[in-house]
Every structure is written in C-alpha cells, then in structure tokens.
C-alpha cells in the first residue's frame, strides 16, 4: 500500500526511510533534505546535506563496461547511447562531455563489439547504469565519513528526502530515471533495483 505524505504544497509518495524527490519540491522546514546533485564533474564527497559522492557525474573512479571506459557513471550512460549514424560509443562523452548526450533520442545502447544494440531502456539500465552506479556506491561506502552520514540520516526522526533533478521512478520507464530513486531503493531495501 502506498504511503502518501501531504504538506501545504504537494503530496509525496514515501518510499521508506529514504525518498527521492525533485529539486523544486517544497517541504516542511524540519524535513531532512539531502541534495544528491551538487558539484558536477568532481571527485569530492560533499557533506552531510549535500552528497556529492552520490552524483552520477562524480569522477572519483573510472567505470568499465564491455570494451569501453568512462570517467563517471553519467559519462558511461550518455556515452553508450548510440544515435543514428553512429556505430560505436562517443569517446568525447566517455571522457567527460556527458552533456553532449543528454536529451538525445538513441536508437539503442552499446552492447559490445559485434553485438546488437540494446533497445529497451530497462535492459540498458540493468546492464549499464545500475552496475556502474553500484560500483560508485561501493567505492564511497569504504569511506567511514560516508557511512557515518548515511547512518546519521537513517537515524533521523522523520523521513529523509534525497533531491534529484530527475524524478522518474522505475527501471523500465521510457523517460529519465532518478539516481536518487536508485539510491533510495538500495538504502531502504539493501537491494539494487532490477
């Protein structure tokens, strides 16, 4: 059964202790709100209310997939989008220019040399995005300060809201998927969405 939290401005479908919300969604002043989109293209970790470490553009580690490497989760995701006229991933995007791939309509996602393109958004997220985001999380969870921030949030008396520019929930949807939704799902269940 869905739990809805209403305030003076809107209704929010609660996911559990951690709930993904949009950047502009209004909340009560005493709500614990954590920005997961701060400081693009950095290797910083942020602070308790700005989890820069969880931003898919975080560049602390490289991400490998099939025969390619990207400098961030977002670069891997955008770089593996194959557009009409392309026959391989875009090196410029894999090396950092992820904005070049945003909002483009791909014909599919890279599945490796000689393999047919992945044409389902859900399958592409399962094979590319979720494993890369999990890899980023597993790197940062080795940092005791990150563990402390997560536990402090988990012990907050009320729900914890993770802000993201994208608000899409679900792997199989056609529009953008929220990384805050992916992170909230894992923090609430101990399982990555699949």
* Domain contains 8: no
Residue 85 lies in a domain: yes
User: What is the structure's pLDDT at 151?
Assistant: 98
Q: Say what the pLDDT of residue 102 is.
A: 79
Q: Where are the beta strands (DSSP E) in 55-128?
A: 63-65, 68-70, 81-82, 108-109
The residue ranking higher by pLDDT, 8 or 27, is 27
Question: How many domains does the chain fold into?
Answer: 1
Torsion of CA 65, 69, 71, 74, to 10 degrees: -40
Give me the domain span that covers residue 89: 63-120
pLDDT, mean of residues 121-148: 98
Q: Is residue 101 part of a domain?
A: yes
| Residue range 48-104, pLDDT digits in tens | 999 999 999 999 999 999 999 999 999 999 999 999 999 999 999 999 999 987 777
Residue 81 inside a domain? The answer is yes
Read off the tokens for 43. Answer: 């290797």
Which residues fall within 8 angstroms of residue 48, CB to CB, at 6 or more apart?
34, 149, 152, 153
Report the SS3 class of residue 189. Answer: helix
Query: How far is residue 158 CA from its own chain's centroid?
Result: 23
Find the angle CA(125)-CA(126)-CA(131) to the nearest 5 degrees.
95
Q: Evaluate whether residue 106 is within a structural domain.
A: yes
- Whether 68 is covered by a domain: the verdict is yes
- Residue 158 falls inside a structural domain: no
Position 102 in a domain? yes
**pLDDT per residue over 25-37, tens digit each?**
888 777 899 999 9
């Amino acid at each position: 059964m869905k739990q809805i939290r209403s305030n003076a401005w809107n209704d929010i479908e609660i996911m559990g202790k951690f709930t993904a919300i949009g950047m502009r969604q209004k909340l009560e002043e005493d709500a614990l709100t954590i920005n997961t989109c701060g400081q693009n293209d950095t290797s910083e970790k942020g602070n308790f209310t700005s989890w820069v470490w969880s931003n898919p553009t975080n560049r602390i580690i490289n991400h490998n997939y099939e025969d390619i490497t990207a400098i961030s989760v977002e670069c891997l995701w955008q770089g593996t989008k194959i557009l009409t006229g392309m026959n391989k991933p875009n090196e410029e995007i894999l090396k950092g220019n992820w904005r070049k791939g945003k909002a483009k309509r791909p014909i599919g996602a890279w599945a490796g040399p000689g393999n047919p393109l992945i044409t389902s958004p859900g399958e592409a997220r399962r094979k590319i995005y979720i494993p890369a985001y999990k890899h980023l999380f597993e790197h940062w969870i080795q940092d005791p300060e990150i563990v402390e921030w997560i536990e402090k949030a988990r012990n907050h008396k009320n729900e914890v809201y993770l802000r993201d520019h994208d608000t899409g929930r679900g792997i199989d949807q056609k529009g953008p998927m929220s990384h805050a939704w992916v992170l909230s799902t894992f923090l609430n269940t101990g399982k990555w969405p699949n």
